[in-house]
Structures are given as C-alpha cells and as structure tokens.
Amino acid sequence: MTPHHHPTDQDLLDYATGAASSGLALLVAAHATLCPPCRARVADFEAAGGALLADLPPVPTTPGLEAALLARLDRPLPVPPPSGDPAGVLPAPLAARVGPSRTLAWRRVVPGIERVDVDPEGGPYAPRLFRLAPGLAIPPHRHTGTERTLVLAGGFHDNVGHYGRGDVSVLDDVIVHDQHIDAGDPCLALVVADGPLRPTTTYGRLLQWFARA
C-alpha cells in the first residue's frame, strides 16, 4: 500500500540535488523505497538535473584523461555487499547502515522505548531507530528544530493523524506533539531531528535526557 504521509516537496528536491543532510537523505531514500509516487517525484527532479547537466557550457578535460580512464575499464569496481534486509522490514539504504532487522542491538532508553544509533559518531541529532512498545503514550513535547519520523512497522497517532508503515511525520517547532503507539505490535521508526526536543512535562524532560544521552 502507498503511504499517506510524505516528506515535503522541498525534502525530495534537496535529496535530488544533493543538498540534503546525510540523515535527511537516508530518511528520503528509505521512504522512497516504500513510496512509488515519491520515487517518481525524485526521478523528475533528477531529470531536471540531467537537463541542466547536458546544457552546461563544457569545460574540456585534460588530454590524458581518456587514456587513463580506458586503462581502468577492465579493473572491476569494488562491489558493495548486498544491503537488503532479508526480512523485508528495513529498506535497503537503512539496512546498509545498521544491518538486518533481526540482528539490531537494541538499547533500552526508558521502559517501553528502545533505540539503535544509525550513526554512532553522528552527534546528538544523528538518525536513530526507535522501537516503541504497543499502547505506549509519549507525553506532550515540542521540537526546537524540525523532526521527521518514518514508520517502518506498527504505527502511532498524534494530534495530526495516524501513521503506519512508510508514513513520514514532519514536525516543526510550533506543534506540541502527543504520541500514542498503536496497540498490537511494537512501532519501529527512524527519527531524524535537526534540533533538541523541548519537553513540556517532567517525565518528558527525563525522557529527553535518556533519549539523547
């Protein structure tokens, strides 16, 4: 099924031009794996890139380049290892970073919330995978920057709507966010933030401390 909630058109453009941060690019590529219309939109932006490239006034390369290139044609390129998740849960761009879904090393943040760092050296706002317990309610909080969440399994609802597999929630610094995880299965989600969250309760402040520590 095609997702209902998508990254912004600006996010897709930034992905296509290469202006996206590595976290945003990962989220867009993972969402696009699950969303044919967004793949088509990115392909259109890339078509514009191709047209711009083809119309650039040429800058000649040095005469030796052609021979150097030909000499390298028969040397095979290093083949990247297959990156897909055999279980089909994690989109390949994400599985390439964290491995298959069955072998994820979950760390408990607080009861009901577990986390895996996608980029352990990426700093406090690097992309993270969260596993949230069914039925969990996350207290109201607000974000200082923009936070994007891609649901990969299970689902949640908040004051905006319901989010299931493939859906992207985009929150800015205005929305007070009040999340309820669906009953049934745990919710697996990729979260890419560009600012700290601003909790509006004591429990939320504790949660923030644990989630970013």
Q: How far apart are CA 27 and CA 45, in angstroms?
A: 17
Q: Which of 67, 72, 81, 123 forms a contact with another protein (CB under 8 A)? A: 72
Q: Is 14 in the site for another protein (CB under 8 A)?
A: yes
CA 8 to chain centre: 13
**Residue 59 binds another protein, judged by CB under 8 A:** yes
Shortest reach from residue 159's CB to another protein, in Å:
14
* Residue 67 binds another protein, judged by CB under 8 A: no
The one-letter amino acid code at 15 reads: Y
Within 86-105, the residues that bind another protein by CB under 8 A are: 86-94, 96-97
Beta carbon nearer to another protein, 86 or 184: 86
Q: Is 145 in the site for another protein (CB under 8 A)?
A: no
Residue among 84 and 99 whose Cβ is closer to another protein: 84
Report if residue 135 touches another protein, rule: CB under 8 A.
no
| Residue 66 found at the interface with another protein (CB under 8 A) | yes
Instruction: Decide: 132 and 156 in contact? Cβ < 8 Å.
Output: yes
Cα–Cα distance for residue pair 83/93, rounded to 1 Å? 7
Report phi then psi at 151, rounded to 5: -80, 130
- Coil, strand, or helix at residue 160? coil
Sheet holding 113-117, edge to edge: 107-110, 113-117, 128-132, 187-193, 147-153, 168-171
Contact call for residue 40 and another protein (CB under 8 A): yes
Q: Does 155 bind another protein (CB under 8 A)?
A: no
Q: For residue 2, state whether it binds another protein (rule: CB under 8 A).
A: yes
Q: Would you say 88 or 184 has its CB closer to another protein?
A: 88
How many other CB atoms sit within 10 Å of the CB of residue 44? 13
Does residue 120 bind another protein (CB under 8 A)?
no
List binders of another protein among 163-202 (CB under 8 A).
166
Can you count the helices (H) and strands (E) in the chain? 6, 11
